[in-house]
Structure 1
């Protein structure tokens, strides 16, 4: 484990790597976000449930997990480096006053967290090519800033490369799930990590967003780890 990321299991050639940019709500002791601790358990700070799902998946042969190891409020790895949202000053109606940084402070966050995270992920994918990258996120059933409910059990996101998405969507629907195709938001808008490490390199990937209440407890995490392991393997075999 390093400060910006952790790897669970051993990535294997031709395997599946579960990448979760927002797996942790950890805030280093020397970083003051200026917010109450209650916010760190909410969706603005962490993708609830994905760390545990990734750990369970990584217990299976051929699957490993690569997880962000600081809160997305400290540094959002799933953003383009040049955008100010890499160090967000607000999220879902909450101001993050400790992130109102000058240029030197912003650059220090990039150097300490963002660049090492992406360098390590690139190194794994270059040295141990994967059959499939599973980009695993979770979404809140309802945003505080928008009262519209989000009824989907799971969303499948992609940008230009929809090879895995086209295979996965019917497999997920066959499980009796309400599946969002580019919902609750579009991968054409928010897909930075996969744009960089998958689409730019021609690597097949599957972008998945699970609704947080479905993986908030151990039973749900075990259920979804089994489901996603099985479907990811089916997709990887079909693409290869």
Structure 2
């Protein structure tokens, strides 16, 4: 296992669709001791459950080249701005992360966060994609603040909702229970797409799938097929104006 902060699957077609997955891994690099209870690294606080499986299937079965993170969000959250309080979390959904108290943020930025985003910037500049998919998952209910999250899928966006609006409509037409900037808002949580999509005028869909639906291979295959279908039609809709 290397310390590379990301990996790539598939070769992007210039002007096509690509996918990124910021929370694909629960890997803790050698030399980092988070001090968390047993089983924590398999929870949603450490990894977006099922998101990597969906993203890999988009690449391997649907021709949507992908970039996947290789560092757990508990080591450093790659889907946060450098100055964010949650960049190196000391608690997450009520779980204490003692190894992050007093951690060297700058070292983790230099080792993981900055190389990850530099690699993404190069990859996207070369691909010049017509649509970016940002693939995440969400838990049906937080342990620290239980509340029903009935959506099967959510579309997040900040200022640029061009692609999201088409996707919300198209998922709805398929009978999917879809959230419009739910279960949380892309106006607060959209760091990677703000940086690599909105800042460059690139259309994107930031997609959150409820993790119980994609925890196993069958669900991952099903939702990858649904997302690939909708993404293709979103891209056509954008091109047709």
Q: Give yes or no for TM over 0.5.
A: yes
**Shorter-chain TM-score tier:** over 0.9
* 1:152-231 equivalences in 2 (<5 Å): 152-231=151-230
Unaligned segments of structure 1, at least 5 residues: none
Moved over 2 A (4+): none
For 1:225 and 1:62, the matched residues in 2 are separated by: 11
1:21 corresponding residue in structure 2: 22
TM-score (normalised: structure 2): 0.96
Deviations 1:16-35 (A, max 9, x none): 11111000011112110011
TM-score (normalised: structure 1): 0.96
Given that residues 81 and 191 in structure 2 are in contact (C-alpha distance below 8 angstroms), is that contact kept between their aligned partners in structure 1? yes
**What count of residue pairs does the alignment treat as equivalent?**
238
Shift of 1:60: 3.8
1:65 corresponding residue in structure 2: 66
Given that residues 13 and 129 in structure 1 are in contact (C-alpha distance below 8 angstroms), is that contact kept between their aligned partners in structure 2? yes
Given that residues 3 and 29 in structure 2 are in contact (C-alpha distance below 8 angstroms), is that contact kept between their aligned partners in structure 1? no
2:81 corresponding residue in structure 1: 80
Shift of 1:2: 5.8
* 1:15-54 equivalences in 2 (<5 Å): 15-54=16-55
2:100 corresponds to 1:94: no
User: What is the RMSD computed on CA atoms of the aligned residues?
Assistant: 1.2
Partner secondary structure for residue 84 of structure 1: coil
For 1:93 and 1:166, the matched residues in 2 are separated by: 34
Partner secondary structure for residue 109 of structure 2: helix
Unaligned segments of structure 2, at least 5 residues: none
